[in-house]
Structure 1
Amino acid sequence: MRAVVLWFRQLDAWVRRLFVLSSLIAVLGAVLVYTPTPYYVTAPGAAIDTSRLVTVENGDVHRGHLYLLVVNTQPANLFWYLYAQVDRRAVLETKEQYLGSFESYAEYLDWNRQLMTESQRTARAVAFQQLGFGEGVRSVGARVVGVLTDSPARGLLHAGDVIVAVAGEPVTGSESLRSRMAGIPGGEEVPVTVLRGGGEVTLTLPTRASQEAGREGSAVFGITIQDELEFDDDAVPVEIRSGSIFGPSAGLMFTLQIIDQLTPGGLTDLVVAGTGTIEPDGRVGRIGGVQQKVYTAEAAGADLMFVPRGNYEEAIAVATRVQVVPVDHVRDALEWLRAAGPQDG
């Protein structure tokens, strides 16, 4: 240690000052990066040309650009916390606000990766349907996602079961199941047909009375469900390489890129950014972080930006250069692009 001190004193004064300053900067950087906060941050991210991610067999990449928009979202360290205090484009949220019902950030990421996978299949199927290549996406039952701890059917129904009939009447989705159960008094046992392990099983399940407003007294199983979907998405081989992008909000732009590559001459020569989920029937669903995506689209020089109609007011509140176009359905975006037509030059 003594030798180090002697060596340090022998250095020129300016070298010593530079050494001390560099050490302080390193310590400060470490504090900023490694000090956690109880917040999550959402900030502007990147505009990515979907032609770099989507490859359609025998499709053509055209002159226009169709950008998906991603935001920078992560647990906020001290640096991001302080950054958000001085840059209005960055938004801080508490863990409860950001994660919702998820217990951890890892669970949140896993769920959003699943949503990305499903959005890609939906994008392919909806694109092909718009081009006349298939039937799109259809719901064929109600998939059991979870069984509540107080469910009377606990131990009889399991996550992954697909309910396809109740009391002999077909069930084609979540709303169909609710409709069938609405006419059955709570507490009655109900014959149910489920798909499980590749086969069909018939069960007689106990129920309880619903406490939900508007459905009081009707029978429920005490389960969480989602539509079981079939995708007509194999008319043309399509590869979508999403990499580290997660969540469903690129669905609209994936759909447009597939259609663009299969349309002679393409859909547009413009630089088009956009965001929005793609639903099985082609509707465009709301997303989070839309204002950060507007900032990202403007930084990328986009001519226009498609947003779900439900996000329109929030988007135009911060837009200064990009034209914001609200859409309810993928058809709205297609009609807008076709009406604008190819640009000369």
Structure 2
Amino acid sequence: MRKFWQKNRKTSLAFLVAALLIAILWFFFWPLNRVVEAPGEAVNIQPMVKIQGKQPLKQNEFMITAVSIAPARPVSYVHRLFDPHIDIQKTNDVTGGQNNADFNNVQKVYMQSAINNAITVGFQHANRPVTKQYHGVYILNVFPQSDFKNRLRPADLIESINGQQLTKSTEYVNYIKSLPKNAPLKIMFKRDGRQMMVSGHKHDIVKGFNGIGITMIDDMTIKTDPKAHIDPGQIGGPSGGLMFALQVYSQLTQQRYQLKKIAGTGTITSDGQVGEIGGVDKKIIAAHKSGAQVFFCPYVKPTKTNLALEPGHQTNYQVAKATAKKYAPGMKVVPVTSFDQALNYLKTHQ
């Protein structure tokens, strides 16, 4: 009887240990359909920017800020209790429903567009030659209502529609608008270097709008004198545009500023307008940890209409200012709507 009890005790202990081990593994490693967003790093972009014949700037550091995105586990919810800067989001809310490959490809396309615009702005403001050459358009997103859903993918390069070989997204949009309702379409495109073709129709994407349900961005190369190149490494997305433009201009002109560490975020258009981005609260924390003295933040007027469209009904600047006040009081948050505003701030704070 004693041996039977001891054997039963050993078996129960083994089951308990196994159950505990499974619970620990689940807690730390089980993947959820969520991602963790947290402050990333503020990266000095000077090593990324190469301009022929121009020495890197040593006095000033222009920094782009990033949001860290990682798969969520059950333990992530415990981390969130102790870190107010961590958010846990549904994966589809972050990726727009794209798989990892498509999401990463789109981020690379966004980054290349930001680089082209940043170089263009920097050279134009320095009164140096820059020319653009358009090659077609990349697909950024295909709406669920589109005839081309699951047939075209983000980062596919459109070469022609119905034999029309156009070079800019605006040209394709105008051409598609000119076609009759429910018109047939043949789209030639390249994916991973292979030429392919799909057929479909215009149709009602939403009530009152008859189209193809695709968003696009220009595939463009630029030529400059002197030659300029930016290698962002593994960083993707469009939010580094403003800071790259400031680095290009300052390196090209050898302009120096009193402020040493200059961080910021914001998209940039080819005419120097700065646009809003995501995760600005986390970027404030990243900039502060890296010792930034100033943070350039996109600004839009907080009207009732604008606030209704903003995440959390707050603009980038409102979120950034509140975050800095609480967690980075020594860092100045500067609202900007354009490259000129950011540059003027640096020049007038010598």
Same fold (TM over 0.5): yes
Distance 1:138 1:284, change over 3 A: farther
How far, CA to CA, are the matches of 2:137 and 2:32 in structure 1? 40
2:157 paired residue number: 160
CA contact (8 A) 2:42 2:286 kept: yes
CA contact (8 A) 1:37 1:81 kept: no
* In the alignment, structure 1 residue 45 sits paired with structure 2 residue 40: yes
What is the CA distance between 1:281 and its match in structure 2?
2.9
Deviates more, 1:130-139 or 1:50-59: 130-139
* In the alignment, structure 1 residue 242 sits paired with structure 2 residue 251: no
1:4 paired residue number: none
* In the alignment, structure 1 residue 324 sits paired with structure 2 residue 333: yes
How far, CA to CA, are the matches of 1:90 and 1:143 in structure 2? 33
Structure 1 stretches of 5 or more lacking a match? Answer: 1-25, 197-204
**Mapping 1:1-345, distance limit 5 Å:** 33-60=28-55, 61-103=57-99, 105-135=100-130, 137=132, 150=147, 160-163=157-160, 173-182=168-177, 184-187=179-182, 208-215=202-209, 220=211, 222=212, 224-310=214-300, 311-320=316-325, 321=329, 322-340=331-349, 342=350
Q: TM-score, normalised by structure 1?
A: 0.71
Distance 1:264 1:242, change over 3 A: closer
Deviates more, 1:138-147 or 1:330-339: 138-147
How far, CA to CA, are the matches of 1:85 and 1:293 in structure 2? 20
The one-character-per-residue Cα deviations of 1:277-317 (angstroms, maximum 9, x if unpaired) are 22233222221111001111222222210111141112112
* SS state at 1:319 partner: helix
How far, CA to CA, are the matches of 1:333 and 1:37 in structure 2? 41
Q: TM-score, normalised by structure 2?
A: 0.70
Distance 1:27 1:181, change over 3 A: closer
Identity score, percent: 25
Aligned residue pairs, count: 299
How far, CA to CA, are the matches of 1:194 and 1:150 in structure 2? 15
* SS state at 1:73 partner: strand
* SS state at 2:42 partner: strand
Distance 1:119 1:187, change over 3 A: closer
What is the CA distance between 1:102 and its match in structure 2?
0.7
CA contact (8 A) 2:119 2:228 kept: yes
CA contact (8 A) 1:40 1:95 kept: yes
What is the CA distance between 1:47 and its match in structure 2?
1.5
Deviates more, 1:109-118 or 1:300-309: 109-118
CA contact (8 A) 1:136 1:280 kept: no
| AA of the residue aligned to 1:323 | K
* SS state at 1:133 partner: coil
Distance 1:112 1:58, change over 3 A: same
How far, CA to CA, are the matches of 1:267 and 1:179 in structure 2? 44
* SS state at 1:36 partner: coil
| AA of the residue aligned to 2:119 | R
CA contact (8 A) 1:305 1:323 kept: yes
Distance 1:37 1:139, change over 3 A: same
Deviates more, 1:57-66 or 1:292-301: 57-66
How far, CA to CA, are the matches of 1:30 and 1:144 in structure 2? 40
Deviates more, 1:27-36 or 1:246-255: 27-36
Distance 1:290 1:193, change over 3 A: closer
CA contact (8 A) 1:143 1:226 kept: yes
Structure 2 stretches of 5 or more lacking a match? Answer: 1-20, 191-198, 301-315
CA contact (8 A) 2:65 2:264 kept: yes
* SS state at 2:157 partner: coil
How far, CA to CA, are the matches of 1:44 and 1:72 in structure 2? 6
What is the CA distance between 1:135 and its match in structure 2?
4.3
CA contact (8 A) 2:147 2:201 kept: no
What is the CA distance between 1:145 and its match in structure 2?
6.5
